[in-house]
Amino acid sequence: MNQLTKHPSFSGAEGPVVLVIMDGVGIGQGDPGDMVAKASTPHLDHLKANSVYTTLRAHGRSVGMPTDDDMGNSEVGHNAIGAGRVFDQGALLVQNSVQSGEMFKGETWQDLTGALEENTLHLIGLLSDGNVHSHVDILAAILKQTHEQGIRKVRVHALLDGRDVPPTSALIYIEALENQLSEINASGEFDYAIASGGGRLYITMDRYNADWPMVERGWNVHVKGRGREFESAKSAVETLREETPGVIDQDLKEFVVVRDGKPVGPIVDGDSVVLFNFRGDRAMEISLAFDDAEFDAFDRGEVPDVKFAGIMQYDADLEIPKRFLVTPPAIDRPMGEYLASSGVSQLAVSETQKYGHVTYFFNGNRSGKFDESAEDYVEIKSDLLPFEQRPWMKGGEITDVILDSINNQKHDFIRANYPNGDMVGHTGDLLAVEISVECVDLCVGRLKEAIDQTGGILIVTADHGNADEMFEVGKDGNLKLDASGNPKPKTSHTLNPVPCYIYDPTGKANLRLGAERDLGISSLAATAMNCLGFVPPEDYDPSIVEVG
């Protein structure tokens, strides 16, 4: 058992330690696109003046991404927070495996591609260079490999982003992909094509069982070849945009590419399928549809007999999927395990959109609890509405659950995620984003009052930025402008630092900033352990504060 040592000079807060993750609420430049700065946040302002306050890194190498040019995301952010250390993440692991060629030497790849002959290799995934769920360079490398192997027929099923990249950038990626496919096809010996597609929030990429009809639409378009028909992916995007002015890529409806009046790429017996997304949360449901013999979330119809693999295994405990190309990061001894072994009762709570982040990802990509008797996980069902129509989301309900725990002394450590700044931030609706931040501020204010009354410690931070930068900002710090002179909208995460407020109303912890500065969000685990009256493990990243 991984038990923690008691702190020599501080026995822990009188009340619970509450870790609040304001998803997507970073620190921007205060420009017109900084909705965090524009929002009215009296409670966060009060905390800043009355807490130990600092900023934390939440992107790039600080969360295990390949370079510091890579933005953070909720998956890697919660991995880092929960693990207390930084592990190389899927983006880097896949990149290294592809560049070294190891992925293509593995048994799974060889089995999927070795006996295709007249059958087809299907590649399903997000067509994006956001490096959050996927990267087009990985897809390009796979296509290069299949070409060199002499695989004659390949179909790409392209999910459109507009969320981790500019909101209407799909044609950039489609045209680059079409160019590569045309070069491969030039000899006349190969038949490579885009077969189907649609926006990532309309088909295929649901998570946490929130909207299975989304996955069903993806199954029908990718596997069955059923959907609105177009001669090319480009014409599909152009037509759908004309019909729905203002629509962004993530919301584009599904399409099927046809040739001579027939779909070019339904998935049939004998084919092989690779899901090339490396992030797990939005890959698991479509993986189950291919991989689970007992699947009953929707009627799949006649299921083709295919070989299926994910580029990674998205859930090792549940073996989703059963076959994969790159071994995922092995995150051991996360914070939750230490606390459970040390007799600390825990509550994890969020709404559906981020529930898996405070449970599965926080626990090091592990399903289930470390101690059933000492841990409570609460999921509040998210609304199936566009987030800009209800920017407060389930903030009030999340807060109610936390307050019930605090006021009734149910748990020693509480972790919660408010998804608003991230989920609403991805819509690009400025007013809605501003309201979403103000909702989170109101919720934090309610929690502060309870902490005041019970003598707990409140830690408020974020996993990455989003709402803090709703217009594109150049390296010179100035807003990027479009041809009409208007700021270019931005719906993706940011490279900005995130705030960290550590509030101890009693003063008994004698909180003060530790000696080390320029820390990342991985230091939050050691910080929470200190506030609970424990000495963090030696190999954990250093605590933000000293106590006692």
Catalytic residue numbers read: 74
* HSE, side-chain direction, 13 A CA sphere, residue 72: 33
- Contact assessment for residue 498 and residue 56, using Cβ atoms and an 8 Å cutoff: yes
Beta-strand relationship, 512-513 and 545-546 = antiparallel
Of the candidates 544, 548, 528, 546, the one whose C-alpha atom is nearest the C-alpha of residue 4 is 528
Instruction: Write down the residue that tokens 């649609």 correspond to.
Output: 198
Alpha-carbon span 98 to 83, nearest angstrom: 26
Alpha-carbon span 397 to 29, nearest angstrom: 31
Phi, psi values for residue 9, rounded to 5°: -125, 5
Query: Sign (positive/negative) of CA torsion 23, 24, 29, 31?
Result: negative
Alpha-carbon span 193 to 469, nearest angstrom: 36
Beta-strand relationship, 153-160 and 191-199 = parallel
Phi, psi values for residue 523, rounded to 5°: -80, -5
Of the candidates 439, 351, 416, the one whose C-alpha atom is nearest the C-alpha of residue 35 is 439
* HSE, side-chain direction, 13 A CA sphere, residue 209: 10
Of the candidates 464, 542, 546, 534, the one whose C-alpha atom is nearest the C-alpha of residue 504 is 546
